[in-house]
């Protein structure tokens, strides 16, 4: 069903990623419920995410940084584990409500560092291989959103964030998997997050965008949905 101007929309950084990739696909998914095709969701990254959070929390409890990152970041781990666990949930994560638009931006951060009373978002990424230089730009919108959400909730941030990449290196006896950890510092632009969010909401309350020839999903779906966003028979 189409979202009307009176609906309170809830959008996430991942939803805005779709908007930045293809406006028609975004409109179809979040305005008409027509989703891009998805394959099986891999469970390994989710399992690793849980373990990494527990690992970081064990050092948080004793007021230390994990040794793998202590020379790669500045500041210390945000100490309030109870509040952090709320931020980690999509149900209770950091949020911003735009009253004029009747829409909410919500984000679930992995972790947060604090330095000089400024809050620095840090996100864990599990990868099978090293990331090429500049590849972290794929996460720009996500980290822009986290910086903006911290700011708008009264926690000043320094307009940068960290991406912590966990990359498997070897398996030893007993199925002991060894990882290397590389941290990338990424400049963030909170205003870009707000502008993207507002444009995305306004798009959802406008007529369906035209077909994007550069989008493979638009090409695949061109015969499945009409110009009102309604599914048609094959």
Position 4 scores a pLDDT of 42
Position 234 scores a pLDDT of 43
From CA 229, how far away is CA 157, in angstroms rounded?
A: 40
Position 126 scores a pLDDT of 87
Residue pair 230/46 in contact by the 8 Å Cβ criterion: no
pTM: 0.88
Position 173 scores a pLDDT of 87
Segments of the chain with pLDDT less than 50: 1-6, 233-234
Task: For 153-176, write each residue's pLDDT tens digit.
Answer: 999 999 999 999 999 888 888 888
So where are the chain's domains? 9-221
Q: What is each CA distance from 116 to 31, 72, 87, 112, 189, in whole angstroms?
A: 42, 17, 21, 13, 20
**CATH of segment(s) 9-221:** 3.90.320
Sign of the alpha-carbon torsion through 94, 91, 99, 28:
positive
């Amino acid at each position: 069903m189409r979202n009307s101007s009176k609906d309170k929309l809830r959008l996430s950084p991942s939803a805005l990623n779709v908007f930045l990739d293809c406006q028609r696909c975004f409109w179809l998914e979040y305005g008409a419920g027509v989703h891009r095709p998805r394959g099986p969701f891999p469970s390994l990254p989710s399992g690793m995410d849980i373990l990494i959070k527990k690992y970081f929390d064990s050092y948080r409890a004793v007021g230390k940084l994990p040794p793998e990152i202590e020379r790669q970041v500045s500041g210390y781990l945000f100490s309030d584990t109870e509040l952090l666990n709320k931020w980690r949930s999509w149900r209770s994560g950091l949020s911003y409500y735009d009253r004029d638009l009747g829409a909410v931006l919500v984000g679930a951060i992995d972790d947060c560092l604090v330095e000089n009373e400024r809050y620095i978002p840090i996100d864990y990424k599990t990868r099978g291989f090293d990331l090429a230089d500049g590849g972290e730009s794929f996460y720009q919108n996500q980290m822009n959103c986290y910086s903006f959400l911290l700011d708008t909730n009264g926690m000043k941030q320094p307009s940068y964030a960290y991406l912590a990449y966990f990359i498997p290196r070897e398996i030893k006896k007993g199925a002991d998997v060894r990882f290397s950890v590389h941290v990338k510092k990424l400049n963030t632009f909170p205003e870009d997050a707000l502008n993207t969010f507002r444009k995305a909401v306004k798009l959802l309350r406008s007529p369906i965008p035209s077909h994007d020839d550069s989008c493979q999903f638009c090409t695949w779906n061109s015969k499945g949905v009409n110009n009102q966003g309604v599914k048609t028979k094959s």
